[in-house]
Structure 1
Amino acid sequence: MFEDLLEMQERGARDRALGRSLADNPMSKPDMLPITDLQEWFSMFEAWRFGWSIEDAMAGHIDMPREGHAVSGNGRALSGDSRGARRA
């Protein structure tokens, strides 16, 4: 199982390097179902996502949203809701 998790993590990093998004997690695709072991499925889902996130951070892409905000590659916070922004 440990080797499978490492392979899925590497696949996530590779997929991010190829420009795929978080929505492209192969563990969320219907052909990966039916789920027979929920814990194993979730571990694989998270391993891919972790690998994707590591590659995303290393490449300097925008981070995943946290509490309604994202951080740009230069470290500046980006608002998750632009409706409240007004220009003077």
Structure 2
Amino acid sequence: MFENLLEMQERGVRDRARGRSLADNPMSKADVLPITDFQEWYSMFDAWRFGWSIEDAMAGHADAPRDGAALPRTYTRTV
């Protein structure tokens, strides 16, 4: 199971690098449903999303979802 989670994280990283959105999570697709083991499904869903988020943060994608506390990458602090 652990190797599967790492593979799913790597897939999330690759998918984000290719420009896919959070809505493209392969664990959200109808062909993986019905879910027989909710915990396993959610672990895989979350692993992909985590990998996607890592790549998103590292690459500083302009279309990244931002919350109210996030600052644009071009922000420079002056003292």
| Fold match (TM-score > 0.5) | yes
2: CA distance, partners of 1:8 / 1:75: 32
- Greater Rg, structure 1 or structure 2? 1
The one-character-per-residue Cα deviations of 1:28-76 (angstroms, maximum 9, x if unpaired) are: 010111100000000000000000000001101254343xx35433359
Are the structure 2 counterparts of residues 30 and 48 from structure 1 closer, same or farther at C-alpha, using a change threshold of 3 Å? Answer: same
1: CA distance, partners of 2:57 / 2:27: 21
Q: What is the alpha-carbon root mean square deviation over aligned residues?
A: 1.7
2: CA distance, partners of 1:75 / 1:64: 16
2: CA distance, partners of 1:32 / 1:75: 41
Structure number with the higher strand fraction is 1
> Structure 1 unaligned runs (5+)?
77-88
Aligned residues: 74
Tell whether the 8 Å contact from 1:61 to 1:73 is kept in structure 2 after alignment. no
> Structure 2 unaligned runs (5+)?
none
2: CA distance, partners of 1:14 / 1:60: 15
